[in-house]
Chains A and B, each alone.
Chain A
Amino acid sequence: MSTPAKNATLSSLAEVDRLIHEPARLAVIALLYVVESADFIFLMNQTGLTWGNLSAHMSKLEEAGYIEVVKTFKGKRPNTMLRLTQAGRVAFQTYRQKMKRVLDGLPE
């Protein structure tokens, strides 16, 4: 691979959405991408994150407008449902395309 091509690959890597790139948030977003919505406990079980950890990542994703959080009560129990917003869906698709380009551009 020529030097300008390598530079292009590396510059693409720098453009990757860092909010999604973090492994725990990537796991959350990937899971929400393939389902319509999921609650907090389901995400905890699937990703293996702790309550506090997931809560912190959830807040960051919500602030960025990538996920929508709906807090309700089921009887006396609080229930937090999470759903990927359209912006989050687009951001994840863009992230996938960029990462694919970067990884495909690397030599064997």
Chain B
Amino acid sequence: MSTQLDLKQIERRAFRSTYQDGLWDVYFGLIVISMAMFMFRPVGGYSPVNMILALSGFGLSYMIFWLGEKIIILPRMGQVKFGEARKKRKLTLMVILGAVVLIQVGFVLFQVFAWLTPNVRESLNGILLDRRLMDLVVAAIGALFIGPSMMLIAYFKDFPRGYFIAVMIALAVFLMLYLNRPVYPDYYRSADRPAQPGAVRAFPAEISAAARGVAS
């Protein structure tokens, strides 16, 4: 084993020791709990209240993470600043995640544009006529947004448990979207069934009506 390799191992061991506290695991867990509790509630629909509660949950999760690190972890584990290589990895991660977020925003905007443009909407309806296929596609896209992003974090932060967390989160999002189908609430599926009290429709009424027409 070369001397260079030993130094790399020392650096890697020191870096990975900063994850031994398990605080990142708690943080990701709290984010998933916030999503599960507030963001995707099939009964309440896609309401602004749910969104505000979900965002509050994210904020609270970060606050717990930040306070835990400041009050409990750093005084006991100590603090360290890593070298240039780690800083470059961090910067690369930020750039790539920023690009991923931009792609996601672009995708959402494209969806809105598609549903508001009759020609594109008809084309999409033609492709995704089978509702089960549409549910599957929506769930797969949701999982593909979350899973690879988390894997990128795991890779660039040299956080091996992150890969496992990425798979679990991607699976959770896939099942959540596929089984609950919150983006297309019940009124989309059944024309007779009224929207739940307090629920806000994801799309304008005419789009929902058009979607119902295709589904029936």
Contacts and interface: CB of A to CB of B under 8 A. Distances in A.
Given A45-B17, A96-B3, A100-B3, A34 B78 contact: no
A34 B81 contact: no
A96 B4 CA distance: 10
Nearest to A46: B14
Contacts of A42: 14, 77-80
Contact of A41 (B10, B11, B78, B83): B78
A44 B78 CA distance: 9
Interface of A: prevailing SS? helix
B7 A40 contact: no
Given A30-B7, A46-B17, A36 B83 contact: yes
Contact of A34 (B7, B75, B76, B79): B7
B83 A34 contact: yes
Contact of A37 (B10, B13, B80): B80
A14 interface: no
Interface string A44-63: 11100000000000000000
Q: Please classify how large the interface on chain A is, using the bins under 10, 10 to 19, 20 to 34, 35 or more.
A: 10 to 19
Contacts of A44: 78
A44 B82 CA distance: 17
Nearest to B20: A45
Contacts, number: 52
B78 A40 contact: yes
B81 A33 contact: no
Interface in B9-24: 10-11, 13-14, 17
B77 A41 contact: yes
Interface of B: 3, 7-8, 10-11, 13-14, 17, 75-83
Given A38-B78, A42-B14, A42-B78, 20 more contacts: A30-B7, A31-B10, A31-B14, A34-B83, A35-B11, A35-B14, A35-B80, A36-B81, A36-B82, A38-B81, A41-B76, A41-B77, A41-B79, A42-B77, A42-B80, A43-B78, A45-B78, A46-B13, A46-B17, A100-B3
Interface of A: 30-31, 33-46, 77, 96, 100
28 contacts: A30-B7, A30-B10, A31-B10, A31-B14, A33-B7, A34-B7, A34-B8, A34-B10, A35-B11, A35-B81, A35-B82, A36-B81, A36-B82, A36-B83, A37-B80, A37-B81, A38-B14, A39-B78, A39-B80, A40-B78, A41-B76, A42-B14, A42-B78, A42-B80, A44-B78, A45-B78, A46-B14, A96-B3
